[in-house]
Amino acid sequence: MTNLEILKRLYKDYTKKFLYKIILAVFFSILVAGSTSATAWLLDPAIEKIFLNKDQTLIFVIPILIIIAFSTKGISLYMAKVLMINVAEEVKKKIQIDMLLSFISADTELIENKHSGKYISNLNFDVNQITGMLSNSFLNFFKDGLTLIGLLTVMFLQNWKLSLIAIIMIPIASITAKKLGKRMGKVTTEAQERSGDLNKYLIDLFKNHKIIKIFQREDYESLRSEKFVNDLKEKSIKIATVFIRATPIMEILTGIMIATLIFYSGKLIMNEQLSINNFFSFLAAMMLAYQPVKSLATINVGIGQGLSAGKRIIPIIDTKNRINSNENLKKLEIKEGTIIFRNVNFNYFSNANNEVLKDINIDISGNKMTALVGHSGSGKSTLLNLIPRIYDPISGKLMIDGQNINEVKLSSLRNEISIVDQNTTLFDDSVFNNIKYAKPNSSKDEIYKAAELAMCSDFINNLENKFETIIGENGIKLSGGEKQRLSIARAFLKNSKIILLDEATSSLDSKTEEKIQKALDLLIKNKTTLVIAHRISTILNSDKIYVMDKGQVVDSGKHEKLLIDSEIYKNFYNRQVKNS
């Protein structure tokens, strides 16, 4: 997107609704400009009438007018800044909400392809750059631009020859601003990358804190943390350095201008072509013009930062999901719950050359349990994730009771599916709310019953606040088995017709597994169940077993048949027997 397109987009989607506040801020900016110019202009009559002519009539009037001018400037500047701060924060809120909604609704593959630390940096660092552009750069553009026009008017009224000399600094400042703006855009992008790297590291640090302790890598991580922080510091210094580069240029230029003006105006005064009161009024206007010229010289830098951030944020907000929600299509209707894969192929878009699933043709009987067996990386979990359309195949069909799942409303499909994953995901919330997450409108009795069926009641009652206990980030206060059982409780509460079990008992010890297996038997009764087998006991209860290898189904049948016909299955079974 071009800079103009980004500005148009930000105006249309975010600032247009606050246009009345912006116009009001511009009105107060006009008052700031007028009062600043009036202050410089008042020096002319003040010097002439009071100091030169010793006119007693204006000795009170002019000081009062100066007080009014400064008061007007102060109050107007305050009001303009408050208005633009409000606009900027409202825009910040709206952009962050849009980004969060984009994250929430995004395809899982998209989220998985970028570290969460980078997204956090986009949400905070980049949005703050846009906020700064609105609250500072745009306000300064109006305020300082109008002030400069007013002061230039005063200067030309006093002496047009001196004014022509003074305005030489404006084009020089503009050239400086243009060069700094380009440099700032590049440096800001680099700083955003370093901010994202630091966020990535911070998240990894918290997730892997126990591993750091066990492998005694504290010194190594200390050095790494120092590097990430130092890299961000270096980029922040670059930003600040680039931002203030205009200062020495403006100071030198102003010094030359003042020296030249004093020399030239001295000649004019000596030749009686310029009065002393005109000179001081002109000099005051020029000195007051220094600040807006300096500010305007750095506005391009702030706008460059905001536009650079916009180029990273808007594509995130505009992300189009490949998995269509099909809101206008019919709902899925399940009777038996038979699931059929026909010629299904799949690969990740991020690695299009690596086919993960190849020509999958399987039939999963309704109201029965089907198992998937295979080595790690054979494609079992990916196949499972195609059923609730976490991913979509690149070709082939997946049907439930004869209905193509790509041709029904997505919400109706997922409403009929529960998944119990080996990697249980929990929220930093109460036990009660973590179970309730599966069915928000459920009653307390339903939640308590689901916990009981999932064999959770014993450990929940031993917690400090029972169901109201806050379990920490991803359930850190619970054991692996306890977290798994909460996940199973969710499945009980949702009570869907299709159950997907991805090694659901892998985190459980044998004693707990025995209890939970009874609960799972109750959960999957008269339901279509597809299980990725971890324990041999699960396989034996399956109606049919599919053996997978390198993304393909290589064998299928019942346990006895596969022991004879499938070398992969036989090896899997022998390892289970040996380890039992």
- pLDDT above 70: residue 312: yes
Contact present, 59 and 11 (Cβ < 8 Å): no
Residue 159: what pLDDT?
A: 74
Choose the most confident range, by mean pLDDT, from 135-139, 245-249, 348-352.
Answer: 135-139
Q: Which residues, at least 6 apart from 308, have a Cβ–Cβ distance to it below 8 Å?
A: 129, 184, 185, 188, 189, 192
CA 374 to centroid of chain Cα atoms: 38
Residue 291: what pLDDT?
A: 73
275, 387: one domain? no
Provide the pLDDT confidence category of residue 75 given band limits of 50, 70 and 90: very high
User: pLDDT tens-digit profile of 219-271?
Assistant: 887 888 888 888 878 878 877 777 676 667 767 777 777 787 778 777 777 87
Helix axes 276-317, 169-207, angle to 10 degrees: 40
Q: Pairing between strand 528-532 and 552-557?
A: unpaired
User: pLDDT tens-digit profile of 260-299?
Assistant: 777 877 777 787 777 777 777 777 777 777 777 777 766 7
Residue 577: what pLDDT?
A: 63
- pLDDT above 60: residue 580: no
Answer with the residue of higher pLDDT: 551 or 536: 551
In-domain check, residue 72: yes
Domain limits at 545?
334-416+499-507+528-580
Contact present, 383 and 372 (Cβ < 8 Å): yes
The Cα 465–Cα 291 span in angstroms is 61
* Residue at a domain's end among 253, 283, 316: 316
363, 472: one domain? no
* Residue at a domain's end among 316, 349, 381: 316
361, 388: one domain? yes
N-to-C CA span, the chain: 61
Taking residue 352's Cβ as centre, other Cβ atoms within 10 Å add up to 9
In-domain check, residue 282: yes
Residue 471: what pLDDT?
A: 86
In-domain check, residue 521: no
* Residue at a domain's end among 316, 346, 369: 316
| Residue written as token pair 């949005």 | 127
Q: How many domains are contained in the chain?
A: 3
| 497-to-362, 425, 521, 542 alpha-carbon distances in Å | 19, 22, 14, 17
* CATH code, domain carrying 96: 1.20.1560.10
- pLDDT above 70: residue 110: yes
The Cα 337–Cα 365 span in angstroms is 7
The Cα 574–Cα 580 span in angstroms is 10
Query: Which is nearest to 405 in space by CA: 325, 478, 462?
Result: 325
225, 144: one domain? yes
The Cα 495–Cα 566 span in angstroms is 35
Choose the most confident range, by mean pLDDT, from 42-56, 163-177, 492-506.
Answer: 492-506
The Cα 444–Cα 339 span in angstroms is 33
Q: What is the mean predicted confidence (pLDDT) over 193-213?
A: 75
In-domain check, residue 58: yes
Provide the pLDDT confidence category of residue 336 given band limits of 50, 70 and 90: confident
In-domain check, residue 327: no
Provide the pLDDT confidence category of residue 420 given band limits of 50, 70 and 90: confident
User: pLDDT tens-digit profile of 477-500?
Assistant: 888 778 888 888 888 888 889 988
Answer with the residue of higher pLDDT: 67 or 47: 67
Residue 48: what pLDDT?
A: 64
In-domain check, residue 326: no
Q: What is the mean predicted confidence (pLDDT) over 13-42?
A: 86
71, 163: one domain? yes
Residue 235: what pLDDT?
A: 78
Q: What is the mean predicted confidence (pLDDT) over 35-60?
A: 72
Q: Give me the torsion for CA of 483, 488, 492, 495, rounded to 10°.
A: 120
376, 301: one domain? no
Residue 361: what pLDDT?
A: 92
59, 173: one domain? yes
- pLDDT above 70: residue 421: yes
Residue 428 DSSP SS3: coil
Residue 507: what pLDDT?
A: 52
82, 201: one domain? yes
481, 351: one domain? no
The H or E element containing residue 346 is strand 339-346
In-domain check, residue 50: yes
The Cα 488–Cα 519 span in angstroms is 9
In-domain check, residue 512: no
The Cα 97–Cα 454 span in angstroms is 36
User: pLDDT tens-digit profile of 362-415?
Assistant: 999 888 888 888 888 888 888 998 998 888 888 899 999 989 999 999 889 988
Residue 342: what pLDDT?
A: 92
Which two structure tokens, joined as six digits, stand for 566?
């499938």
Residue 532: what pLDDT?
A: 86
At 488, the amino acid letter reads I
Residue 246: what pLDDT?
A: 64
165, 247: one domain? yes
Provide the pLDDT confidence category of residue 177 given band limits of 50, 70 and 90: low
Taking residue 492's Cβ as centre, other Cβ atoms within 10 Å add up to 25
The Cα 103–Cα 235 span in angstroms is 28
- pLDDT above 80: residue 99: yes
Residue 179: what pLDDT?
A: 67
444, 432: one domain? yes
503, 491: one domain? no
* CATH code, domain carrying 351: 3.40.50.300
The Cα 367–Cα 544 span in angstroms is 12
Residue 193: what pLDDT?
A: 78
- Percent of the chain past pLDDT 90, that is, above it, reads 7
Provide the pLDDT confidence category of residue 578 given band limits of 50, 70 and 90: low
Provide the pLDDT confidence category of residue 534 given band limits of 50, 70 and 90: low
Contact present, 451 and 489 (Cβ < 8 Å): yes
Answer with the residue of higher pLDDT: 418 or 235: 418
The Cα 341–Cα 404 span in angstroms is 10
Contact present, 535 and 564 (Cβ < 8 Å): no
